[in-house]
Chains A and B, each alone.
Chain A
């Protein structure tokens, strides 16, 4: 595009993004303050007077902090094992063990239900082994939520720390060793401080994800309410104003978390010099005992991490009403899959999810690429504003966005940029699009920043115009980055539960909502089939990428 139109176009894109991202949040804040009739803090005062609101707030915070600690406890040692030791199967397992991150949250939760729940495999097994009358535990409350969080979020620590270790100059640890430092001192004084950016990044991501987590508290929480489930409960009870106040509170909490973590982000302080050596070679375990132990640990852990996936597969093959008191299901067949394939009514959510995710992804890629490109070219304040607008939905919990969109688009006021979209087929694709923007925008930004400007200049020097340069040079070079972003955006939209539960209509109900209603109808087999479907599609979008990293 010509540089003459660049600035007006950037303003247009910024305006569009503000309308999608900032405006709904602002409207929610205003309505929580009593607008348009009034301007008052009465709603907030009502919020502050209720003990259960404070309790939910406190629970959200401590659950998030505990999730960070647990995820680090699992993910960091795993990263060291896979980055530093060489044992049979390391490459394959190193990729597989990152799979839980690709599991849509609701699918992970129902897999846990089938595995650890009262009538899950494990509880039945333990009950049978010990000869108990009742199930040995109930999968409920804070413990259950933390279990699911640790399981699905250790991957952030694992991936970040592995990447950090791969970038770490091996000479750093050698320098420490030759200066007389033993293993422990090298680890605590050199390796971990150098990994601090990775650790802080993973902690930030875990904290924010946990704060926004909805599926686990919704399914396992019972009376244990956190902010996200509190918001949805208020909305379902018709306490719209209260839901809006809670939404504003949770959004502020998320922004505060983001701001705090940004402040301590040591990435800016530690600039590693221009030249670096290579990462240390992996230690090849020579003693057969050690090799066997490492391989056993690796395989064992991977098996544990993949147990929920396997459980889903198994449950999806149990015909209805055949599994009652036995420890293991007596009959397995593909009947549930056949039921789904034969019933248009049950295929409907799958088609819904597919088209809505596709539309949202296409829109998010186009908008993300355009905004990222303008942001890189313009720099300055407008460029920063575009980049910030792209990133904001990442910090904002899905529940918050769902309420904000429901607030903004349930009123017809075209002059104020408000239309009635709630209750139509367009609200969910729009919600998915906004939620996917940080994913597509960030990968487009990363791709554009790695793009050598000399490429476009070379094309121009050879006589190619702006469009030809775009189609034949820049887009092909950006393709890996765009595909990666699109893949993530697609699986996020496909498996979305948190915004869907607030905004869906019966005709556009997505897979996640259908999973929930199947569970309510005790139709576990069909629910598992939907879960398997999401799992396979997500893994397909995720695995090729993790394979590259796992070298």
Chain B
């Protein structure tokens, strides 16, 4: 896909603190890219650089091949949905939406455009309402309508759902995603919630400490994390530390882990040399509990806690070889204090191996 937005080795420091460190990524036209990361990862700074509220120390920003770094926000032709919506409280809903249409001339055309975008977010006839009369969900939709009204080249969304009640969040999320798809909007969406990132993003860029850790579709980030940080940040994970033997197998206690097709397959994020100390990261749904006396090539341990979470029950197992593993199993699979074996669940996510020094 040809890239529409190019972010090229962008860096930004505040004083001594480098908040963005040579981040490069590209966004295709019509794509929704999610910037995900913990607080302080630089995702919001990256969004503000795109908007033009901050200027980068180094690097380039190109839209359709044109450098835009020198343009002020008002001349970039982007739209933005703010975290707290930033609706103008002294203007009506219609006047808010009209704010970006000033250059379109007045009268009929403008009024019909306002009606059109309000209809798009299911707020027909809300033109004269005051902002503070609206519910949080409605304010959020007005913010979207206002941003879309001028027909922006690119839409920026800064944690657009974080101010909504959890009960409203999931529904608004899919409505918002559908609205973007309907107008084939290219969008950059910042969030710190993995669920949100996976639900709305065509691709997800995971940032940490100002660096881009990994960029790809959600499945790729979850199943094939490139770094130990990505593996730990997304989903639930537990890990054990062992050594890579001469056969290229990860060895811990009596258990051996090898490549695809083996009894306990694993995948590695990087080329690992024999003798390296290796950390294996497991997803709870890639493991199962087994009878400690029957299975071979298993790890044994004792269940130290059990947590029922509806769709699965999570067992924390203190392993004989040291460390703890988190295993998802049926709600009656074991009791606290039981001795159990932990075995791979076929078809589940593979353990991911990282050289221990990498972290």
How far, in angstroms, from A190 to B74 measured CA to CA in the complex? 14
Say yes or no: A273 contacts B87, CB within 8 Å: yes
Residue in chain A with minimal CB distance to B15? A284
Interface string of A175-192 (1 = CB under 8 A from B): 111111110010001100
Partner of A175, one of B72, B82, B139, B163: B82
Give chain B residues whose Cβ lies under 8 Å from the Cβ of A276. 84
- Top 3 closest pairs, chain A to chain B, by CB: A179-B100, A171-B86, A177-B73
Task: List CB contacts (< 8 Å) of A271-316 with chain B.
Answer: 271-273, 275-277
Contacts of B150 in A (CB 8 A): 179-180
Nearest A-chain residue to B97, judged by Cβ: A179
Interface membership of A174, Cβ < 8 A:
yes
Return the contact of B89 from the options A178, A185, A271 (Cβ within 8 A): A271
Interchain CB contact under 8 A, B139 and A178:
no
In the complex, A233 has a CB within 8 A of chain B: no
Query: A271 to B132, Cβ gap below 8 A?
Result: yes
A residues apposed to B, CB below 8 Å: 169, 171-172, 174-182, 185, 189-190, 193-194, 196, 266, 270-273, 275-277
A185 to B74, CA, bound (A): 11
User: Knowing that A180-B102, A190-B88, A273-B89 are A-B contacts, what are 5 other residue pairs whose CB atoms are under 8 Å apart, sorted by A's residue number?
Assistant: A177-B52, A178-B73, A179-B99, A180-B100, A277-B84
Inter-chain contact A277/B86, CB cutoff 8 Å: yes
A500 to B87, CA, bound (A): 51
With a cutoff of 8 Å between Cβ atoms, the chain B residues found around residue A275 in the complex are 84, 163
Q: Which residues of B contact A272 (CB under 8 A)?
A: 89, 132
- Whether A178 contacts B79 by the Cβ 8 Å rule is yes
Q: How far is the CB of A158 from chain B (nearest CB, A)?
A: 23
A-B contact pairs, 10 of them (CB 8 A): A174-B51, A175-B88, A178-B76, A179-B147, A193-B90, A266-B90, A270-B89, A271-B89, A273-B84, A275-B84
A502 to B17, CA, bound (A): 63
Contact A178 B163 (CB under 8 A): no
Nearest CB of B to A179, in Å: 4
User: Which residues of chain B from 38 to 56 have any CB-CB distance to chain A below 8 Å in the complex?
Assistant: 51-53
Asked if B314 CB lies within 8 Å of chain A CBs, one says: no
Chain B residues near A273 (CB-CB < 8 A): 84-85, 87, 89, 131-132, 139
Q: B residues near A, CB below 8 A?
A: 51-53, 72-80, 82-90, 99-100, 102-103, 131-132, 139, 146-147, 150, 156, 163
Shortest CB–CB separation between residue A415 and chain B, in angstroms? 54
Please tell me which one of the listed residues A174, A176, A180, A196 contacts residue B103 in the complex, with CB atoms under 8 A apart: A180
Q: How far is A171 from B51 in the complex, measured between Cα atoms in Å?
A: 12
Interface centre among B82, B86, B102, B150 (most CB of A within 10 A): B86
Distance (whole angstroms) from the CB of B57 to the closest CB of chain A = 12
Question: With A180-B103, A194-B90, A272-B89 as given contacts, are A175 and B74 in contact (CB-CB < 8 Å)?
Answer: no
Which residues of A have CB within 8 Å of B131?
Answer: 273
* A175 CA to B139 CA, complexed, in Å: 14
Residues of B within 8 A of A270 (CB): 89-90
Q: B residues within 8 A CB of A266?
A: 90
Asked whether B82 lies within 8 Å of A277 as measured between CB atoms, the reply is yes
**Chain A residues within an 8 Å CB radius of B147:** 179
* A25-B342 Cα distance, complex, nearest whole Å: 89
Q: How far is the CA of A339 from the CA of B90 in the complex (A)?
A: 60
B90 with A196: CB separation less than 8 A: yes
Query: Separation in Å of the A322 CB from the closest CB of chain B?
Result: 54
Contacts of A182 in B (CB 8 A): 74
Docked CA distance A308–B90 (Å): 41
- Determine the chain A residues whose CB is within 8 A of the CB of B89 once the complex forms: 194, 270-273
Q: Which residues of B contact A194 (CB under 8 A)?
A: 88-90
Q: Using Cβ atoms and an 8 Å threshold, which residues of chain A touch B52?
A: 177-178
- A177 B84 Cβ-Cβ under 8 A: no
CB of B89, distance to nearest CB on chain A (Å): 5
Residues in A neighbouring B85, C-beta threshold 8 A: 273
In the bound complex, what is the Cα–Cα distance between A153 and B214 (angstroms)? 58
Q: Complex: how many Å from CA A363 to CA B156?
A: 58
Instruction: For residue A283, give the distance in angstroms from its CB to the closest CB of chain B.
Output: 11
* Assembled-state Cα–Cα distance A171/B84 (Å): 8
Question: Are A174 and B86 interface neighbours, CB within 8 A?
Answer: yes
Q: Flag if B74 contacts A177 (CB, 8 Å).
A: yes
Tell me the bound Cα distance from A266 to B89 in angstroms.
Answer: 11
Task: Determine whether the beta carbon of A179 is less than 8 Å from that of B146.
Answer: yes
